[in-house]
Every structure is written in structure tokens, then in C-alpha cells.
Structure 1
Amino acid sequence: MASYGRVYQDPSEKDKRFQIFKENVEYIESHNAGHTGKKYNLGVNEFTDLTNEEFKSMRNGYKMQRSTHVASSKTSSFRYENVPAVPSSMDWRSKGAVTNIKDQGQCGCCWAFSAVAAMEGITKLKTGNLVSLSEQELVDCDINGEDEGCSGGLMDDAFEFIITNKGLTTESIYPYQGVDGTCNKKAAANHAAQITGYEDVPSNSESALLKAVANQPVSVAIDAGGADFQHYKSGVFTGECGTSLDRGVTAVGYGEDDDGTKYWLVKNSWGTSWGEDGYIQMQRDIDAEEGLCGIAMEASYPTA
């Protein structure tokens, strides 16, 4: 409670949370003792007083439905299709193309954070400047299509809005509030960065995703609903997870760990207490074509 500023409304709520916390800690300790045979570690974080159902309903918000979705600024081409070779590892953080970890709080707008991180990356690559852009502008102003602020949305729709809007303003001009608000048109008029379009990575192909991530940070959707995801702390995450995509995150690199396990480096928006200071390494090159947790199913990136 002290670590994460938890305040409960009454003793019964506190007792309930303590019971949930104890059960989660038992699960974490059992996992880390090697009873599951998995090499990644779990740990206590700010979500350890939540049931898995509560965690899923509060913290995700990606709408899985792009197959029926026709957008207008999307090109059907994949610009990295004929890239002959990619580096054996990539970390866009080391190239100054990734802003600090952000925290969406209890607003289900992961889609906005994913889209913004990908846009921040391409903006750095095109202009040389890394600028923290405004998720709140998307939450408040991008409300006429599938995107519904804290109630969920899609990265492609966010890109669509940014193109139509002719840009996005900075985090400092339009700061994050973590709740649905009214569009501040005055703040939103200060465009700090633009994109010209966006493309979808060919679906269910980790090799296509690899080509894209070798060239820029990429928005990806994953199934992040599992208990191991909730309590993930470190190491290469190998699942349990399905392909019911419920979370937008950003692939900002890839590599291979000391024992040869290949991974994607993924930026999340749950603050720095979760995972490896806000990041997760997710196993790459698995047998399933959709990738671990569906990471290769609905990836896309902005162009500038």
C-alpha cells in the first residue's frame, strides 16, 4: 500500500484486497520457484491487489476488429517487403527514438499510447528530434470513429485521425489526464509532428514484422490478459496467452538472450513498476504464425 499509494475506502475493502494480494503473491512465488518450468520471473507490482478479471477490464482497451475495418489513408503496400537483410538485434531506445515509459492509469486507451509511441519513433527518424506527443489529444478529440477514448480503440484509427487532423501536439501542451475529456481545440492546433500515412504489416508473419521493426518502432496488438502478464517482472516471456487481442503496445526492438531465445522488445504503458522498467521481452520466432500472444496479427506503422 505504501509503495503504490494505495488507499482503500473501508476495512472490508482493505481485507478483500489483502486476500487477493496474498493469493497473487503465492502464485508469483510458486512460479519463481520453478514449479512451472518457465524461465521468466514474476513480481509484485501495482496490480498485485487486483484479480485478473479486474486487471483486464481496467487496463486494456484494444478493439480487435480490423478485419472488417476499411480505412482510407492506409496503403496496401508494405514498404519493407524487399528488405534483403536485417540486423541481428535492434533497440530503438539506444537510437534515441523512444520516449520514457508512460502510464495510462485506469483509462483503457492503450491504443493511443501505442500509436503515439510509433509516431514519436518515425518523427525522430525523419526529423532528428524526439518529441513526447499527446495521447490525451487522441483520447479527447479522436471520437468520431471506432476510437472511444478510455473505452478502447484501434491504432489504425488513431493514425487516420492524426493524418486528417494534420498532426498531433506535444504532451507538454496537451498533458495526459487519464480520463475522457472535451477536445481542447486550441491546444490541439499546435501541431508538433505530422505523418503522411500508415501501412499494415502483412498479417501472421513474424518475418514481415521483423523487417518493419528493424526500420522503425511498430504498433502491435497482443493478448495481454493472462495472470503471468499481469505480474511479469523480467526475462523472456513465453506465455500463457491466446490471440484475443486486447492490448495495444509498441515493438521497439528485438534480440536474442544468452541462451539463444529470440525475443521482441515491447514498450508498454503501465508505468515503470511493471515488467523490466515498463518493458517486456516477448518470445519471437515461435511455431504459431500469429506469433506469441498474437503479436504478428495486427501490426501497423505510420509513415512520414
Structure 2
Amino acid sequence: MIMAIPKVFLLAVVLGCICLCSTVLSARELGDAAMVERHEQWMAQHGRVYKDGAEKARRFEAFRNNVVFIESFNAAGNRRKFWLGVNQFTDLTNDEFRATKTNKGFIKRNAAAVNKASPTGTFRYSNVSADALPAAVDWRAKGAVTPIKNQGQCGCCWAFSAVAATEGIVQLSTGKLVPLSEQELVDCDANGADHGCEGGEMDDAFEFIIKNGGLTSETNYPYTAQDGQCKAKNTINSVATIKGYEDVPANDEASLMKAVAAQPVSVAVDGGDMVFQHYAGGVLSGSCGTSLDHGIVAVGYGAADDGTKFWLMKNSWGTTWGEDGYIRMEKDVADAGGMCGLAMQPSYPTE
């Protein structure tokens, strides 16, 4: 026999469900409210202003998705050697990040390309004994690295990488560390593989510096983060010169170590994934692509507290990215190309 359920009981059940649903909804709303507040604080920190409500809604959605990814990644990272964090790129989808930072940054050299300044393919550090190399190097501590710069929305990482390597060798040769002009390369190095904010390649930048009779200072030719008209040569005073450049043997971290022990070295990496986008600290390790799309510079190497060997890399995305603008990338990995392809195409200027 089916017993009738008292109406009072049914009413209590219905009211209970309503209360429970209201509680869940409130929690969700509180979560969104907290994320909205976090986004507002982030906007204030980075000076971000959106053109209208629709754009702000899109940016908030990207911000929320990225924060969820970052926090989930870090929460699952008990064995990871690095961590991610919110930075100036957190309101960009990864596709947008790639479009502004890597897709038009480094132009991978054709495999048949010849090093014009070193036609015989010489590598001046080939005979250096590995036993003679220091266990750790940091060219910042030796005064050969200028402060972190920021390329902004211009896809000219190639210019920042080439300039940083040139600043380094000039300091080692003269004892003077002078910030040099990336903008001169962006505006004036336009007759070869380099295309200003549309991308370029470090060896071609070195080639231009040689033919141009050097580079002027950043003070004389300030960075504008956009393509511009090349200033007439008679209005630019070169303050630093190089005589040539050489390529490090490809896919050879041992040779790269020899070069970096002697001077800062330009390096190309695959820097377009979400992990690279939000890298915040530690030694980047694990799986990584080798589709070279970003130019940085190796300014040292060493070992972390847990013994993990790393390369110390200077980036050009400002000090709010990574470790105050730097990234440590695992050294001597099994992949011949190195972490994110860093050993595939390194090169350096010579005095």
C-alpha cells in the first residue's frame, strides 16, 4: 500500500531544495565577484584600460581561464621544478599571446643559410676544455648585462637579443656597459631577413651592425615599440662596434656552455605555449616544443639548490614576467636541441 506523503513534508523538501540551490548560486556568485575584484586589481596594477564593456568582458573571461590554469598547474606541481603566476599577459588567450609575442618575433633561419661573417663555420671556443669551464657563470654579476628591457607589442625580440649580446661583448672588450639602440635595428635593418616589428633573426642583425659601422646608444635613438623611418646616418653616432659573429655548433649544449662561459650568447627558443606565457620562477623543465619563435640571450648558467642544472636567460618582456625578467631553463637535457630548442641556433658577436 502506498502511503500518502504529508503536504507539510513535501513543502519542507521543496523549501530545502530552494535554500540549497540558493546557497550554491551564492557561492558561485561570490567566486565570480572575487575574480572580478582580482581582475580590477590586476587592471590597476598594469594600467590596463579597455575600450568598452564588450572588450572588458572578453578580457575578463581570458583572465579567469588563465588564473584557473595557473592555479591548477601549481596545485598539481609537487614534483615540478618551476611555477606559474599571474603577469601582464594574463588577460590574453594563448593565441593572442602568440600573435603579439612570438608569431612575428624570431624568423627561423633556413638550414642552407651561410654565416656570411664566418663563411668557414669557425667556432672560436671549440678547443676550450670542458674541465677548464667554471661551474657557474652570471654575466650580470660581472657588469656585462644591461637592465631588463620591454619590447612591448612590437615583434622585435630578435633585435633585443642581438643588442643584449652586443652590449655584453662590447663591455667585455672596453669595460664600458652602454645600453644600445634596438630601435636603430627596427628602423634601419630592413634590407635582409629582418622586418622590424614583423620579425627578424639575430645573425642578420649582427650582419647589419657590422656593415653599419656599429650601433648608437639607446639614449641617442630611443625605443618606440613600433616601426619607424630610419634616421639619416649623419645624425646617428655609433658608440659600439663588432667585427664579426659566429654560430655555436647546432644542438650541442656542451659547445653552448663554452660560448656562454666566455660571453653572452643570442639564443632562439620555442616560447609560445601557456607555460612560457605565465612562467614565474624556478627551472623550466619537462616537455617543450622546438618550433623556434622567440629570441632571448643566455647570460649564464649554474645549478639550483636541488642540483638541477640551468641556463640563465635574459628576456625582453619587462620585469613583471618571470624572475624579474629572467628565466632559468633546464640545462643538459636528453633532447639534442635543448630545452625549448635553445641549443638549435645560438650565435654571438665577436670583437
Question: Shorter-chain TM-score: which interval?
Answer: over 0.9
Q: What's the counterpart of residue 301 of structure 2?
A: 254
Confirm or deny that 1:2 pairs with 2:47: no
Aligned length, in residue pairs: 304
Question: Displacement of 1:66 after TM fit?
Answer: 3.6
Confirm or deny that 1:73 pairs with 2:117: yes
1:225–1:246 CA contact under 8 A, matched in 2:
yes
Q: Write out aligned runs for 1:28-43 (5 A).
A: 28-35=70-77, 37-43=79-85
Confirm or deny that 1:183 pairs with 2:225: no
Question: Displacement of 1:68 after TM fit?
Answer: 2.9
Aligned to 2:76, the other structure's residue is in SS state: helix
Aligned to 1:26, the other structure's residue is in SS state: helix
2:220–2:236 CA contact under 8 A, matched in 1:
no
User: Which consecutive residues of structure 1, in runs of 5 or more, have no partner in the other structure?
Assistant: none
Q: What's the counterpart of residue 234 of structure 1?
A: 281
Aligned to 1:41, the other structure's residue is in SS state: strand
Q: What's the counterpart of residue 193 of structure 2?
A: 146
Structure 2 counterpart of 1:161, from 176, 201, 208: 208
Confirm or deny that 1:124 pairs with 2:171: yes
Q: What's the counterpart of residue 37 of structure 2?
A: none
Q: What's the counterpart of residue 128 of structure 2?
A: 83
Question: Displacement of 1:45 after TM fit?
Answer: 0.3
TM-score, structure 1 normalization: 0.98
The 2-side partners of 1:171 and 1:26 are apart by 39
Question: Displacement of 1:33 after TM fit?
Answer: 1.2
Larger Rg: 2
Question: Displacement of 1:72 after TM fit?
Answer: 2.1
Structure 2 counterpart of 1:198, from 237, 245, 249: 245
Question: Displacement of 1:187 after TM fit?
Answer: 7.0
Amino acid at match of 2:128: V
Question: Displacement of 1:239 after TM fit?
Answer: 4.1
2:115–2:246 CA contact under 8 A, matched in 1:
no
Question: Displacement of 1:38 after TM fit?
Answer: 1.8
The 2-side partners of 1:10 and 1:153 are apart by 34
Question: Displacement of 1:32 after TM fit?
Answer: 1.3
Aligned to 2:332, the other structure's residue is in SS state: coil
Q: What's the counterpart of residue 114 of structure 1?
A: 161
Aligned to 1:263, the other structure's residue is in SS state: strand
Structure 2 counterpart of 1:63, from 103, 107, 122: 107
1:167–1:195 CA contact under 8 A, matched in 2:
yes
Hey, which bits of structure 1, 4+ residues long, moved more than 3 A?
none
The 2-side partners of 1:15 and 1:26 are apart by 17
The 1-side partners of 2:276 and 2:78 are apart by 15
The 2-side partners of 1:192 and 1:66 are apart by 31
Question: Displacement of 1:211 after TM fit?
Answer: 0.2
Aligned residues: CA RMSD: 1.2
Q: What's the counterpart of residue 19 of structure 1?
A: 61
Aligned to 2:336, the other structure's residue is in SS state: coil
1:163–1:195 CA contact under 8 A, matched in 2:
yes
Confirm or deny that 1:171 pairs with 2:223: no
1:8–1:14 CA contact under 8 A, matched in 2:
yes
Amino acid at match of 1:43: G
Aligned to 1:2, the other structure's residue is in SS state: helix
Richer in helix (by share): 2
Q: What's the counterpart of residue 342 of structure 2?
A: 295
The 2-side partners of 1:126 and 1:257 are apart by 30
Amino acid at match of 2:183: Q
